[in-house]
Amino acid sequence: MVRVYVSSVIEASADAVWQRVRDFNALPQWHPGIADSRIENGEPPDKVGCVRHFHLRDGGMIRERLLALSDFDYSCSYAILESPMGVENYTATLKFTPVTDGGRTFGEWSAEFDCDERAARRSCRSPSGSRCSRGGFDALKKHFRGGR
């Protein structure tokens, strides 16, 4: 089992950050690596169990199932159902915690998954394995600094 953990501090309230990312179908609106997204079968994007189908800017296609969504904890968990990444049993959690000193937000993106030894050497255990998470946090930080 491989574990990836990335954290960041965002200069905005947890309420504001959560409103930006809460919609499970909104990845293209805040993550620079995502080209498009849709929720399958017309389900609401906040329904636990819904499946998002999206494309990366490099053309890869990913399908993910929403496992949990909490407005109280500012968190969501999801599982990858299909992807070109060579991972299995992938589950991830995105969580935001208010930082009471200065109205900031502590963001955490963690994932666990299995991958074959070659993939593990190539990317799963390397810093690039967290590239997607880091790109999302960097985009959120830029957005809330006013650099839309």
Q: Each residue's pLDDT tens digit in the chain (148 positions)?
A: 889 899 999 999 999 999 999 999 999 999 998 999 999 999 999 999 999 999 998 888 999 999 999 999 999 999 999 998 888 999 999 999 999 989 999 999 999 999 876 665 555 544 434 557 788 899 999 999 865 4
- CB 56, CB 79: distance < 8 Å: no
Cα separation, 96 vs 141, in Å, equals 13
Verdict on whether the full-model pTM lies above 0.75: yes
CB-based contacts of 10: which residues, under 8 Å, 6+ apart?
A: 17, 96, 104, 105, 107, 137, 140, 141, 144
Q: What is the CATH number of domain 2-145?
A: 3.30.530.20
Please report the pLDDT score of residue 131 as a whole number.
Answer: 58
